[in-house]
Copies of this chain bind each other. A is one copy, B any other.
Amino acid sequence: MHEQETCVAVRDVLSRVGDKWSVLVVSMLRDRPLRFSELRRTIEGISQRMLTLTLRGLERDGLVARTVTPTVPPRVDYALTDLGRTLLDPVLALAAWADGHRGEIARARERFDRKDPGKQD
């Protein structure tokens, strides 16, 4: 299980999950497809540029499908693929962990920062 290829693949996915917007976008698409502008409005804080880049990355990895309706003005819908949907489970498990332990983590940080003051600005 700890082969080289596996490690690379795992780190690859982990960095996807760790980036600032990917998981948020995926979780927004959980229930139904959304248009570019809907995603942009819903996510709040994301720049046009980063939304585009995030969606391209997710599309490239086969997690999100992009559907263009060539009207004018154009309409583009984004939806989770089957693969994208399977990612939801482990990600939500991690999110649940984060939510469930955020108190412990916050307390650990306070303790650490009290012991070692001035290091964390």
Contacts and interface: CB of A to CB of B under 8 A. Distances in A.
Contacts of A101: 83, 86-87
Contact of A94 (B14, B62, B104, B109): B14
Interface of A is mostly: helix
Given A18-B18, A90-B90, A104-B62, A12 B98 contact: yes
Best-buried of A89, A95, A96 by chain B (most CB within 10 Å): A95
A88 B96 CA distance: 13
Interface residues of A, number: 44
Contacts of A15: 18, 20
Interface string A18-59: 111001100000000000000000000000000000000001
A68 interface: no
Given A14-B23, A15-B18, A17-B94, A108 B60 contact: yes
A9 B99 contact: yes
Nearest to A23: B14
A86 B91 contact: no
- Across the A-B interface, give the 8 residue pairs with the lowest CB-CB distance, nearest first: A18-B18, A62-B108, A13-B98, A9-B102, A60-B112, A90-B94, A90-B93, A10-B98
